[in-house]
Amino acid sequence: MNANDRITRRGFVKTAVALAAATLVVPAAWAQTQASAKEFRVGWQKGANIALLKARGNLDRRLASVGVKTTWIEFTAGPQMLEGLNVGSIDFASVGETPPVFAQAAGAALSYVAFEPPSPETEKILVPKNSPLKSVAELKGKRVVLNRGSNVHYLLLNALKKYGLAYSDVKVTFLPPPDARVAFESGDVDAWLIWDPFAQAAISQIGARVLLGAPGVAENYYFYLSTAQYAQNHPDVLKIALEEINATAQWVTTHFDEAADILAPQINLSKAITRESLQHYSYGATSPLTAKVVANQQAIADAFYELKVIPKKLDVSAVVWKP
């Protein structure tokens, strides 16, 4: 295995940064309506969705033009980022579809700001290349590993249901991706539920085989979140952030090589694996959430509640930003 191909960090990007924004005309009403918005604190992860935006400074320059300082605060994973949002250390977070459910269940004061199109191609159930397993139905009694509260946690629920199995039919171990990879390679588990680029790296590097992909089983949305208070007080800041995210979306689809050049060193993967993983994602932020997206999040919340994985029934629609 090439040293640059080893996975050492969690997370991956589904967007890359836009070209430098043109000089902006500050709205006349800005000083009055956003007078208290002096800082915008953004949570980020190395190799994650807005890591390139941070690296190239586009959002910083855009907000500086209207008198708002952008501060970037690093987190190791989505759940920790949402905890930061809950305790007030950041104003903006970007995570997959399952972490907000767990955060809301824990009482986090979050608000769904926007969503990206689903990217089911990025999630997979992997087995070792020499595994005799040919179907999810054969996972009964087997050992599976995944990251608790991540998107693939919900993929497991749906995949088991589709093939006539209960959650209790498999032996689940929760490990972060780097540790899960070690367990997978050593033969301590029979299957690994994981997302790109970790999945693509395992396929390319050790010949892992896809037992099941997420298309037709789970949607795999990606969300941008804030707090209800920040969203209410500073909607114009959030709208600028979404504009920069959408500029990023337009850029990345024609600049995969450039995006991979920046991301690969962050996650210690080769450019080839990084580039291929980028192409599996969908791009572009939409706000507010549609009824279909809210229903999908509600289904996730209901599924985890029914299994008693989360302690209470949730109303996802109650925490959706309506600008």
Q: What is the domain partition of the chain in residue ranges?
A: 3-119+221-319, 120-213
Q: Which pLDDT belongs to residue 10?
A: 37
| Residues whose CB falls within 8 Å of the CB of residue 13, separated by 6 or more in sequence, listed in order | 47, 48, 49, 50, 51, 52, 259, 263, 278, 281
Mean pLDDT calculated for residue range 7-29: 33
* Residue whose C-alpha is closest to residue 1's, from 250, 207, 146: 207
Task: Outline where 36-150 has alpha helix (H).
Answer: 51-56, 58-64, 78-87, 99-105
* Residue whose C-alpha is closest to residue 105's, from 297, 290, 233, 289: 297
Q: Which pLDDT belongs to residue 20?
A: 28
CATH architecture of 3-119+221-319: 3-Layer(aba) Sandwich (3.40)
Sorting pLDDT into bands at 50, 70 and 90, what band is 185?
very high
Look at 176 and 53; give whichever has higher pLDDT: 176
When the pLDDT of each residue in the chain is averaged and rounded to a whole number, the result is 87
Sorting pLDDT into bands at 50, 70 and 90, what band is 45?
confident
| Superfamily designation of domain 120-213 | Periplasmic binding protein-like II (3.40.190.10)
Q: Which pLDDT belongs to residue 47?
A: 74
Judged against a pLDDT cut of 80, whether residue 230 lies above it is answered with yes
Judged against a pLDDT cut of 50, whether residue 274 lies above it is answered with yes
What's the whole-model pTM score? 0.83
Could you give the 3-state DSSP secondary structure of residue 95?
A: strand
Q: Which residue has the tokens 């509260």?
A: 149
- Check: CB of residue 125 under 8 Å from CB of residue 191: yes
Q: Which pLDDT belongs to residue 36?
A: 62
pLDDT tens-digit readout, 98-109: 999 999 999 998
